Amino acid sequence: MSTPTRPLVARVRRRATLVAAGVRRGARRWRTSMQLQVVTTSLLVGLVAVGALGAYLTTSIRDGVFDQRLEEILVESARSTAQAQAQFDSATAGTGTQVQQLLNDMLPRLRTGGAGSREVFLWRPENSTASAAVIDLTTAPTLNGLVSPQMRAQTVRGEGQVWQSVAIPADPAAEDSRVVPGIVVGSLVEVPLAGPFELYYVYSLGGEAETLGFIQRIMGAGGVTLVGMLGIITWITTRQVVQPVRNAARVAERLADGHLDERLTVRGQDEMATLARSFNEMAASLRDQIRQMEELSALQRRFVSDVSHELRTPLTTIRMASEVIHASRDGFDPAVRRSAELLALQLDRFEDLLADLLEISRFDAGAATLDAERRDLRDVVDRATDQAVALAERKGVFLSADYPAEPAIAEFDPRRVERIVRNLLVNAIEHAEDGPVEITIRQDREAVAVTVRDFGVGMTPEAASHVFDRFWRADPARARTSGGTGLGLAISLEDAHLHAGWLEAWGRPGAGACFRLTLPVRAGIVLTTSPLPLVPESSRPRAGGATGPTTGQVPIVTIDQHGPSALPDLAALAADDDADSPQEVS
C-alpha cells in the first residue's frame, strides 16, 4: 500500500468506528426505552400502510388516466382517418404529381386536426404494387423507429385501428435518455392512383405523465406529513402513559434505597391516577411494615444482647462452683464424677454460645469494628491451624498446607481472620470423614486468598447456599463432636464482609467441600477476582491422600516455602490429650 493512501484508510476506519459506535448507542437506547420502541413501531407500520395505500392509489389513477386518454385517442384518430379518407375519395387528382401534392397538403391538416399536437406518418406498404410514384411522408422522421414491424404488418392486414404503447424520447435531437410515454395508432387509407397507404398517429402522453407525477408528489408529501403526524401523536400518547411509569420506577428505586417517604404525584381521576394512589398506599403500607420489623428486630437484638450480658453473672457463679466440683471429682463415685466432667464440658459450650451471641449482636447493631494492620496471612493461618491440630488428631484427619514462597501481605484484622480460618478448619475436619484437609494460600496484586478443602461427605449446591445461615445444619441428625454453636460460619461471613472481602462455599455430595476466603490487600480495593479458584480442579482425593492413620499421631504435611512449619509437636499433644475430655475449638 502506498504512503498517501494510509491516512485515507485511517480516516475511513475512524469513521466506520464512529458509525458503529453510534449504531450501538442507538440500539441500546432503543432497547431501554419503551416509548422509543412504540414510536418506532408506529412509524414503521405507518410507513408500510401509507406506502401500500400510495402504491394502490397511484396505480389506480395511472390506469384510469391511461384508459381515459386511450379512449379519447382512438375516437379522435378514427374520426381523423375517416375525414382523410373522405377527402381522398372526393379528390380529382389524375397524375402522380397531383396525388403527391394532395398528400403534402393533407399531412399538416392531419397533424393539427386533433385535440393536441401529434405526429403523423403516411407510408406506402412495403409490398405495394401501385404504379403512381408517391413518396412516404412524416412529420417527425426521428420517430420512425417507434412503429414496429409487427404493428405495420397488423395494420396492413386492414382489420381496423391498431394501437401500441411506446416510449418517446424527450429530445430526439439530443443524446438524452429521458423518455415520455406515448401511443401509436395505425390504420389503412385508400389514396387515389397510389392504392392503400399506412396512416399512423403518434400521441405523446407527456402531459398526463406530468399530471400523474404531480399527483404522486402531492401524495408523497401528504404521506410523509401523515407519518410525521402519526409519530408525533404516538410520541405524545405514549409519553402520557410512559412518564407515570418512569416516575413510578424512579420512586420505587428511591424506596429501595431506603427513602420510605417518597410518593407519586396524583393528578386527575383516570387509570394512571388510580395507579399512583394504589402505589402510594402500597408504599405507605411497606413503610409501616418495615418500621415495625425494624423495631421488632431492634428489640430482638437488644433482648439477645441483654440476655447474653445478664447470663454472664450467673454463669460465672456456676463456673466457679463447677470448677470446685470438677477439682474434687476424684473423690466421687463414677456416676457423680462423670456428671461433674459433663457439667464442665457443657459450661464451656455455654460460654462459647454466649460469646458468639454477643458477637452476632455487635454485627447486627453495626457496632463491630475492624482493627486492620499489615500482616502476613501465612502466620495467621499457621496460628489457626495450631488450634485445629488437636481436633484433627482425634478425628484422624490428614492436614496439608500449600503456602507461596513470598509473604502474603495484606491489611486485615488478624483476630477476625484467624477466627474465620479456624472456623473453616473445624468445619472441614468435622465433615472430612477420615479424608484429608488441604489449606492453600495465594496472592495477586489486588487480593490474598485462602481455601480450605476437604474430601468428605460434601454438600449439595442448595446446602452451599445456606451454609452461612445462622444455626443452619445440612444434616440435623448429624452429631456435633467439636462442640460448635451453629454460629461460627455466620460470624465468619460477617467478618469477611467487614473486610470488604468474600467468603464462599462449594460442595458436591461425596466429593467434599471447599471454602474460599478472599481479602483485598488494602482498604478501598473492590474485589473482582480471587487468586484461587472456588471449584477445585479435581473433586476426588489425590492418590494416597486419604490413607493417613485414623488414630494416634496425625501426620501434617506442610509445603511451606517461607520457613519451618509453626505446627506444634504432635507427639506431645497426643501425650497430653485426655480422650474423655475433648478440647473445644471456638
Q: What is the CATH number of the domain that holds 286?
A: 1.10.287.130
Residue 583: pLDDT band (50, 70, 90) is very low
Regarding whether 60 and 18 lie in a shared domain, the answer is no
Tell me: pLDDT of 558 over 50.
no
Residue 584 lies in a domain: no
Do 411 and 476 fall into the same domain? yes
Write the CA distances from 122 to 84, 110, 129, 201, integer angstroms: 11, 10, 16, 9
Domain around 523: 370-576
Residue 583 within any structural domain of the chain: no
Same domain, 271 and 392: no
Among 109-123, 401-415, 522-536, where is mean pLDDT lowest? 109-123
Pair 496, 417: CB distance under 8 Å: no
Measured in whole angstroms, the distance separating CA 473 from the mean position of its chain's CA atoms is 38
Q: Pick from 341, 368, 395: which residue ends a domain?
A: 368
CA distances from 412 to 102, 137, 416, 447 (A): 121, 112, 8, 11
132: pLDDT confidence band, cut at 50, 70 and 90? low
The identity of residue 539, as a single letter, is S
**Are 359 and 318 part of one and the same domain?**
yes
The residues facing 437 across adjacent strands are 399, 454
CATH number, residue 509 = 3.30.565.10
| Count of residues making up the chain | 586
In a domain, 582, yes or no: no
CA proximity to 372, closest of 418, 408, 413? 413
Domain final position from 347, 368, 389: 368
Position 80 pLDDT exceeds 60: yes
Whether 421 has a pLDDT exceeding 90, the answer reads yes
β-strand pairing of 137-138 with 118-123: antiparallel
| Residues 30 and 37 sit within 8 Å (Cβ to Cβ) | yes
Q: Residue 442 pLDDT > 90, yes or no?
A: yes
Do 75 and 219 fall into the same domain? Answer: yes
With a cut of 50, say whether residue 582 has pLDDT above it.
no
pLDDT of 267 > 90? The answer is no
pLDDT, greater one: 359 or 179: 179
End-to-end C-alpha distance for the chain, whole angstroms: 74
Question: Do residues 214 and 357 both lie within one domain?
Answer: no
Question: Do both 213 and 274 map to the same domain?
Answer: no
Cell of 209: 405523465
Is 69 within the bounds of a domain? yes
Domain assignment of residue 586, yes or no: no
pLDDT tier at 549, thresholds 50, 70, 90? very low
* Banded model confidence at residue 570, pLDDT cuts 50, 70, 90: very low
Check pLDDT > 50 for residue 554: no
Residue 47 has pLDDT above 50, yes or no: yes
In SS3 terms, 394-447 reads as HHCCEEEEECCCCCCEEEECHHHHHHHHHHHHHHHHHCCCCCEEEEEEEECCCE
SS3 532: coil
Which residue among 259, 281, 297 closes a domain? 259
In three-state secondary structure terms, 92 is: coil
Query: In degrees rounded to 5, what are phi and psi of residue 557?
Result: -105, 115
Is residue 170 included in any domain, yes or no?
yes
Over residues 387-404, mean pLDDT = 88
Is 461 buried (19+), middle (13-18) or exposed (0-12) by CB count in 10 A? exposed
* Burial per residue of 77-103, b for 16 or more beta-carbon CB atoms within 10 angstroms, e otherwise: beebbeebbeebeebebeeeeebbebb
State whether residue 495 is helix, strand or coil.
helix
Lowest mean pLDDT among 231-240, 353-362, 540-549: 540-549
- Percent of the chain beyond pLDDT 90? 19
CA distance 206 to 183: 11
CB-based contacts of 181, cutoff 8 Å, min separation 6: 165, 166, 167, 168, 204, 205, 206, 208, 209
Same domain, 1 and 144: no
Same domain, 57 and 198: yes
Q: Are residues 347 and 385 in the same domain?
A: no
Confidence label for 114 from pLDDT (cuts 50, 70 and 90): low
* Amino acid at residue number 40: T
**Count of domains forming the chain:** 4
**Which amino acid is located at 257 in the chain?**
D
**Between 510 and 170, residue with greater pLDDT:** 510
Q: Do 37 and 141 belong together in one domain?
A: yes
- Identify the pLDDT of residue 333: 85
Report the pLDDT averaged over residues 480-496. 73
Q: Tell me which of 280 and 485 has the higher pLDDT.
A: 280
Q: Which residue has the higher pLDDT, 413 or 244?
A: 413
For 373-397, b where at least 16 C-beta lie within 10 A, e where not — what string? eebbbbebbbebbebbbbbbbbbbb
d(CA 425, CA 567): 14
Give the range among 158-172, 357-371, 503-517 with minimum mean pLDDT: 357-371
Q: How confident is the model at residue 440 (pLDDT cuts 50, 70, 90)?
A: very high
54 domain residue, yes or no: yes
- Check residue 315 and give its pLDDT: 76
Phi, psi of 444 (to 5 degrees): -130, -165
Give the pLDDT confidence score for residue 542 in this predicted structure. Answer: 46
Query: Do 199 and 164 contact (CB within 8 A), yes or no?
Result: no
With respect to residue 357, please indicate whether it lies within any of the assigned structural domains.
yes
Predicted confidence at residue 462, as pLDDT, reads 85
- Return the ∠ at Cα 219 (arms to 217 and 221), rounded to 5°: 70
Q: Which pLDDT belongs to residue 578?
A: 37
pTM over 0.75: no
Tell me, what's the pLDDT at 441?
Answer: 94
User: Where residue 183 sits, what CATH number does that domain have?
Assistant: 3.30.450.20
**Residues 337 and 251 both lie in one domain:** no
Alpha-carbon gap, residue 217 to 219, rounded angstroms: 5
